[in-house]
Each structure stands twice: as C-alpha cells, then as structure tokens.
Chains A and B, each alone.
Chain A
C-alpha cells in the first residue's frame, strides 16, 4: 500500500471487553512502533518491533496490553479487559531501517473509546 494503514479507525468497547487493533506497515519496513495518544497530549511510545522481534515493550502501561508481529509485517495490539483509561488514539508507525535516521511513517490511528 501507499502508506501505513490501521483498522478499525474507530472502536467502541464496553469496559471489560477485549479489543484487537491492526496495523499494516509499509511493505518492506523493518521497524514498527505503537504509540498511545490521549486527548490533547503528544503520542507516547508503547512498543517497538524489528521484523518479528519485539525489542522494547517498556511503554506498555500494564500486562493487559500485548502486541505481536508474528511474520514481521502486520502487527496487532491487543488490550484485554479494557478500562476507561485505555480510551485514546492508538498510532502505528513504520520505518524502513533501524538506525533512527530515516523517516518514520505514521498511520491514521485507531480511536478507542471504552464506555
């Protein structure tokens, strides 16, 4: 595809439900990132993949958050037993390399609302 895509664009969940958010990075991009953006705030780093390896998950707020990228392309962010404080926009980004020198391309985000 032409850019990073995410689905769904909007998700409403009842508190306690599990959700799965999908990210399709740009083909061939080695690095993939997930960020959480609360209303009025800048994006906050959640986790980083290099191909299929999850090299950093220091930003995941609790053990209810789980991310995977099993084949080194599509990634899924799963949130179990959602809470109201999980309401945010979840952004995915990809980058062709791993050095941090190049451009990081962001998807449009998934807006999660937990009722």
Chain B
C-alpha cells in the first residue's frame, strides 16, 4: 500500500545528471515527500525531503510539481558510488500517534562509467 510509484530501474552515465521520477498522486496537503537511498548491504540513507517548494542540499535537488502529484530527485553529477536503490516515500500518520514510513520497491539506479 505504498503511496508512491517509481520506475523499477534507470541507467545514468557517470558525470551526467540523474533524474529520478516519482508519482504520488494521492498525497495529502500536509504530507512531505522524502527520498532515501540504499546501497547494497546498508540501511537506507536520508537524501532530502520537501513539501511544495523545490529543495536543494549538498547531495541532491528535489523538484515538486505545483499540484504535488509528482516529484523528481536530481543528482547533478552522478558518480559510480551513487549506484543504489532510491526510494520516494510519503510517511503515514499512525492513529495512535507517531508515524510510519511505507516503502515501495524503489528505483534501482545504475551509474555507468
């Protein structure tokens, strides 16, 4: 019951920008979009999150459409070490308090030399 959909895999040439799309058409007005990545044999690593404005940090940029139904994670200059599974996530509030993160299958990004 993931609230996001992503392509299963993508390729990118080293040094080029990697643009990873995500659809979240059922997102609520106060729900943030989060991006994590998981490199083999490691736990997921936080990349960036946003609500409706575009965001940028040292790792990536996040572009969110005006209707908030989709977003794109941009790695401006992909390196071989960026090869990983990238998860676009919308967190779900729990009735009892707190929240949980529902992961989909993610996008497996292959950065090629």
Binding site for B on A (CB under 8 A): 4, 31, 33, 35, 41-45, 48, 50, 55-56, 59, 91, 93, 98-101, 103-109
Q: Does B80 contact A (CB under 8 A)?
A: no
- Complex-state Cα separation, A91 to B45, whole angstroms: 12
CB distance from B58 to the nearest CB of A (A): 14
Known: A42-B106, A48-B94. A103 touches B100 (CB 8 A): no
Known: A33-B101, A42-B103, A45-B101. A55 touches B43 (CB 8 A): no
Restricting to B48-103, which residues have a CB under 8 Å from any CB of A? 49, 85, 87, 91, 93-94, 96-103
Q: Is the CB of B98 within 8 A of A56?
A: yes
Task: Say which residue of A42, A56, A91 sits within 8 Å of B96 (CB atoms).
Answer: A56
Known: A42-B87, A55-B94, A101-B32. A48 touches B43 (CB 8 A): no
- Complex-state Cα separation, A91 to B101, whole angstroms: 12
Q: Is the CB of B97 within 8 A of A106?
A: no
Given contacts A33-B101, A100-B32, 13 further A-B contacts (CB under 8 A): A35-B103, A41-B105, A42-B106, A45-B100, A48-B94, A55-B97, A93-B44, A100-B91, A100-B99, A103-B46, A106-B43, A107-B43, A108-B42
Q: Is the CB of B97 within 8 A of A98?
A: yes
**B interface residues, tally (CB under 8 Å):** 26
Task: Say which residue of B41, B85, B87, B93 sits within 8 Å of A100 (CB atoms).
Answer: B93
CB distance from A115 to the nearest CB of B (A): 20
Q: Is the CB of B98 within 8 A of A100?
A: yes
Residues of chain B lying within 8 A (CB to CB) of residue A106: 36, 43-45
Residues of chain A lying within 8 A (CB to CB) of residue B103: 35, 42-44
Q: Is the CB of B99 within 8 A of A98?
A: yes
Interface hub of A59, A100, A105, A107 (most chain B Cβ within 10 A): A100
Residues of chain A lying within 8 A (CB to CB) of residue B21: none
CB distance from B39 to the nearest CB of A (A): 11
Known: A42-B87, A55-B94, A100-B91. A48 touches B100 (CB 8 A): yes
